[in-house]
A and B are shown apart, each in its own frame.
Chain A
Amino acid sequence: MTPYLVSSFQQATFSALIRECFGYAFSDIFLKEQIKYLFGYLKECGCIYMLLEPEYIDREFLEDYSRYYVKRFGNDGYKCGRIHFFSCYIDHKSLDSLLQGSAVEEFTDGNLTIEYLQKHYLGFVVIKPLSRTFVGKTCLRLIGDSGTGDGTKKKITKCYKVNLFGVELHIESIAFQEQDKVVAACATTSIWTALHALPWRDVRLIPSCSEITINALNFAEGSNNGFPNKELTNKQIQRSLDVEGLRYHSTHLLTESRAWFQSCVTSYIDSDLPLILVGEVYSIHLPSEKEEEKSDEGCYPFKRRGGHAVTVLGYDFRDASNIIYIHDDRLGPYARVELVCLASHQAFKKVPELQKRWGLAFRCTNDGGRTWQSEYEILIPDACIVPTEKKARLPFQYAYGTAQAITQQIAADIVSLQALAVNVSDLPKGRVSFNIKLSSISKVREHVLQHKLARSVGEQILASDGRSLSYFNDESLERWREDRVRILTSPMARLQWEIDFICGDQEVFKVLLDATDIPLGNAVSGIYAKDPLHSELLFQMLRRIPNDDLNTDNTHFYGAFLNVLEQRDIDYENHLNQAYGALRAPLRLEESEISDSGKGLNKTIGHYFDPVEKKLTDIFPDIVSDPINRNLIWAIGRDGSLFVAEDLSEPKLGHPSMTGLQAARIAGEMWWTQENGMPIWHVNHASGRYSRDYVTPDKYLSNAVRKIASFFQDEIKFVAKGNSRPPNARIHSKNSVR
Chain B
Amino acid sequence: MVDGRLLDELLNQAGETQEKRASAARERMKKLNEELELQLASQEMTREVLAKSCSL
Q: Give the B-binding residues of A (Cβ under 8 A).
A: 185-187, 190, 230-235, 237-238, 250-256, 260, 278, 281, 305-309, 330, 382-383, 397, 401, 404-405, 408-409, 412-413, 416-417, 419-420, 422, 463, 467-473, 475-476, 536-537, 539-541, 544-546, 548, 550-551, 553-556, 558
> How many whole Å from A414's CB to the nearest CB in chain B?
10
In the complex, the answer to whether B45 meets A330 with C-beta atoms within 8 Å is no
Nearest CB in chain B to that of A330: its residue: B56
Task: List the B side residues contacting A540 at CB < 8 Å.
Answer: 2, 4, 7
**A233 CA / B50 CA spacing, docked (Å):** 7
**Within the assembled complex, what's the spacing in Å between the Cα atoms of A653 and B12?**
59
Inter-chain contact A413/B11, CB cutoff 8 Å: yes
Interface string of B11-55 (1 = CB under 8 A from A): 101101010011011101110110011011011111001111111
Question: Quick check: A278 and B55 within 8 Å, CB to CB?
Answer: no
Contacts of A476 in B (CB 8 A): 1
The SS class assigned to the A binding surface is: mixed
Q: Once the chains bind, are B2 and A470 in contact (CB under 8 Å)?
A: yes
| Chain A residues whose C-beta falls within 8 Å of the C-beta of B42 in the assembled complex | 252, 254-256
- The distance from the CB of A611 to the nearest CB of chain B, in whole angstroms, is 30
Chain A contacts for B26, CB-based, 8 A: 548, 550
Residues of B within 8 A of A409 (CB): 25, 28-29
With A252-B42, A278-B54, A397-B43 known as contacts, the answer to whether A234 contacts B33 (CB < 8 A) is: no
State the majority secondary structure of interface residues on B.
helix
Q: Are B2 and A469 interface neighbours, CB within 8 A?
A: yes
**Across the interface, which residues of A come within 8 angstroms of B22, CB to CB?**
545-546
- Of B10, B45, B50, B55, most buried by chain A (CB within 10 Å of CB) is B55
Q: Which residues of A lie under 8 Å from residue B4 when comparing CB positions?
A: 540, 544
The answer to whether B29 touches A417 (Cβ under 8 A) is: no
A186 contact set on B, CB distance < 8 A: 54-56
Asked if residues B2 and A309 are in contact (CB atoms below 8 Å), the reply is no
B56 near A305: Cβ-Cβ < 8 Å = yes
Instruction: State whether A405 touches B32 (Cβ < 8 A).
Output: yes
Q: How far is the CA of A347 from the CA of B11 in the complex (A)?
A: 50
Q: 7 A-B Cβ contacts within 8 A?
A: A256-B42, A383-B45, A397-B36, A409-B25, A416-B11, A416-B16, A475-B1
Bound form: Cα–Cα A470–B3 in Å? 6
Contact: A306 with B55, CB < 8 Å?
Answer: yes
Q: Is the Cβ of A307 less than 8 Å from the Cβ of B36?
A: no
Contacts of B51 in A (CB 8 A): 233-235
Q: How far is the CB of B38 from chain A (nearest CB, A)?
A: 8
Residue in B closest to A401 when the chains form the complex, CB atoms:
B36
**Can you name the residue of chain A whose Cβ is closest to the Cβ of B29?**
A550
A525: shortest Cβ distance to chain B, in Å?
21
Least CB distance, B46 to chain A, in whole angstroms:
6
Q: How far is the CA of A531 from the CA of B43 in the complex (A)?
A: 35
Contact of A544 among B18, B44, B46, B52 (CB under 8 A): B18
Task: Name the residue among B37, B49, B55, B56 with the largest chain A CB count within 10 angstroms.
Answer: B56
Complex alpha-carbon distance, A416 and B26, angstroms: 17
- Do B7 and A544 touch (CB < 8 A)? yes
Contact of A469 among B6, B16, B40 (CB under 8 A): B6
Contact status of A417 and B55, CB under 8 A, knowing A409-B28, A470-B3: no
Given A397-B43, A408-B28, A555-B37, answer yes or no on A467-B3 (Cβ-Cβ < 8 Å). Answer: yes
Smallest Cβ-Cβ distance to A464: which chain B residue: B10
Which B residues are in CB contact (< 8 Å) with A536?
1-2
For the complex of A and B, the 7 pairs showing the least CB-CB separation, nearest first, are A231-B55, A555-B36, A309-B54, A187-B54, A308-B56, A416-B14, A540-B2
- Give min CB distance, B27 to chain A, whole Å: 9
The smallest C-beta distance from A656 to any residue of chain B, in angstroms, reads 34
- Per the bound structure, the CA–CA distance linking A541 and B3 in Å amounts to 11
Kindly name the residue among A404, A422, A463 whose own CB sees the greatest number of chain B CB atoms within 10 A.
A463
Residue of B nearest to A306 (CB): B56
Contacts of B49 in A (CB 8 A): 234, 252, 254, 382-383
**Closest residue on chain B to residue A179 by CB atoms:** B56
Nearest-neighbour CB distance to chain B for A428, whole angstroms, equals 13
| Chain B minimum-CB-distance residue to A230 | B55
- A387–B24 Cα gap in the complex (Å)? 39
* Cβ–Cβ < 8 Å partners of B13 in chain A: 420
Checking A231, A408, A475, A551 against B54 with a beta-carbon cut-off of 8 angstroms, the contacting residue is A231
